Structure 1
Amino acid sequence: MDRLDQVEKTAATTTRELTHVRERLDRAERQLGALLAARTDQRNDLVGVEHGRHQDIARRARALIEQRFLNLARRYADASAHTMDRPERERAPYLISLLCRQLLTDHPLSSAAICRELRLPDHGGHTEQAIASLRSDCSLLVNRIHQAGLEHRWDFRLTSRSRLESPRQEAWPTCDPHDPALFVVSPAYVVKDIVYCPQYVYTSRSLHRAH
């Protein structure tokens, strides 16, 4: 009964945390939409169709991070040698950061090479299959970017321990936006100096060293 009671308490706490995260995400998406609209309305060097394409790409990129990257990172956050020396709550976001640098590029390594690079266990080939699936989704996104045209970049720039810079950065949903920046979880998507999708940044008052 004691164990059941503890499980119920844990489930209730998790439900409250998820509700809080969803509320913050909804608020952030509304704020991002307003910021993007304000920024893009002031520009006259991009046509509406191009704006629409890159806004769609930004939405796809954000969904990819919040769903596919996060799901994979949660599964393997305690398995990578690169994350084990970090506090437990940082591990999944930090693994997302490592995955982004491997996958959000025109020339990603093979899935097997990424597994080796991130020091992930094989698990009978299941890990490589999971990486391959995410790699395929990222390749489709990169192809959309090239089809949309215009100069673009993934912006990983971060000054450690600095305050967040709006609208280029926003706090990872479980973090306090008023705390100092520790590491980039996912990069900003920037087209001709317009931030279409801001960085997700892990913030913390901890002095744990960011790599």
Structure 2
Amino acid sequence: MDLELDAGARRLTVLEREHRVLQQAYTQMEGRLQDVERRLDALLAARAEARGDVPSNAHSTHHVIAREYDALVEQKVQGLARAAASSVAAAPPGAATRMLWLMGRICSVLFGQDEPEGKAVLAAVGKSRLDPLASQASRLSSCALDLRQRSAQTGLPAHWDFELMPGEPLDEEWQEAWPSCDTTLPGQFVIAPAYLVAEQVFSRQRVCTGLSIPG
């Protein structure tokens, strides 16, 4: 039995090491992909501007920001919200909706009026500064701040729009239901705000639909 436990422990150690290596490779690949996308967008924008058939290079920059914003919400914001929700000893009924609610609270800190901070992100999900999620919250706020600063530097008016009338049908032009939500039901709360540039929709608002709002 001891030999089996030792072998299992060694195997677990190897798997953990392989998992860390894969995570690092994924992070590096994601960074390289974003860099390639930026350079490609810049190249396409320069060629298009030479032909005079696009508004400006600033619009291309905002398209890149919108894609990075979508990835931030779908991966990092959702990951933090899921971790915060799963750390609750007794998850309430409708835990999936609770996670979406936490995503909305996180996004309200990251893309609201105030400059995002890790401690505010933690407070939004009911965690203290000493919580194990602190480093994750800090990295997330830094990423959001970078997007906001790059957006402001383009010179075009842009903002993240949280406006929603609970109980009203979604406006497909600038809103969409979260994939796990029923698209036939009215909107209840914002999960992630829309990204608008000069009143044009670069990323639609993600909304939780339903008949009640979780507390």
In the superposition, the TM-score normalised over structure 1's length comes to 0.68
Q: In the TM superposition, what is the alpha-carbon distance from 1:56 to its structure 2 partner?
A: 1.1
- Aligned with residue 143 of structure 1, among 145, 149, 167: 149
Where structure 1 has 5 or more consecutive residues not aligned to the other structure, the ranges are 1-43
In structure 2, distance between residues paired with 1:160 and 1:105: 19
SS of the equivalent of 1:159 reads: coil
Cα distance change, pair 109–196 in 1 and its aligned pair in 2 (3 A): closer
- Aligned with residue 185 of structure 2, among 144, 157, 179: 179
What is the identity, as a one-letter code, of the residue corresponding to 1:151? P
In structure 1, distance between residues paired with 2:151 and 2:85: 29
Match of 1:93 in 2: 100
Does residue 196 of structure 1 match 2:199? Answer: no
In structure 2, distance between residues paired with 1:178 and 1:49: 38
> For residues 87-121 of structure 1, what are the alpha-carbon distances to aligned partners after superposition, in whole Å with 9 as ceiling and x for unaligned?
21201111110001111146435323432343225
Contact 2:70 / 2:203 at 8 angstroms: preserved in 1? Answer: yes
> For residues 17-70 of structure 1, what are the alpha-carbon distances to aligned partners after superposition, in whole Å with 9 as ceiling and x for unaligned?
xxxxxxxxxxxxxxxxxxxxxxxxxxx9x7231221111111111111001111
Report the structure number with the largest CA radius of gyration: 2
Cα distance change, pair 103–86 in 1 and its aligned pair in 2 (3 A): farther
In structure 1, distance between residues paired with 2:151 and 2:116: 19
For this pair of structures, how many residues does the alignment match?
A: 161
Q: In the TM superposition, what is the alpha-carbon distance from 1:86 to its structure 2 partner?
A: 7.0
For residues 1-211 of structure 1, the aligned pairs below 5 Å read: 47-79=55-87, 87-105=94-112, 107-108=114-115, 110-120=117-127, 125-204=131-210, 206=211, 208-209=212-213
Where structure 2 has 5 or more consecutive residues not aligned to the other structure, the ranges are 1-51
Q: In the TM superposition, what is the alpha-carbon distance from 1:196 to its structure 2 partner?
A: 0.8
CA RMSD of aligned residues (A): 2.4
Match of 1:31 in 2: none
In structure 2, distance between residues paired with 1:100 and 1:86: 23
What is the identity, as a one-letter code, of the residue corresponding to 1:134? L
What is the identity, as a one-letter code, of the residue corresponding to 1:171? A
Taking only the aligned residue pairs, the percentage that are identical comes to 30
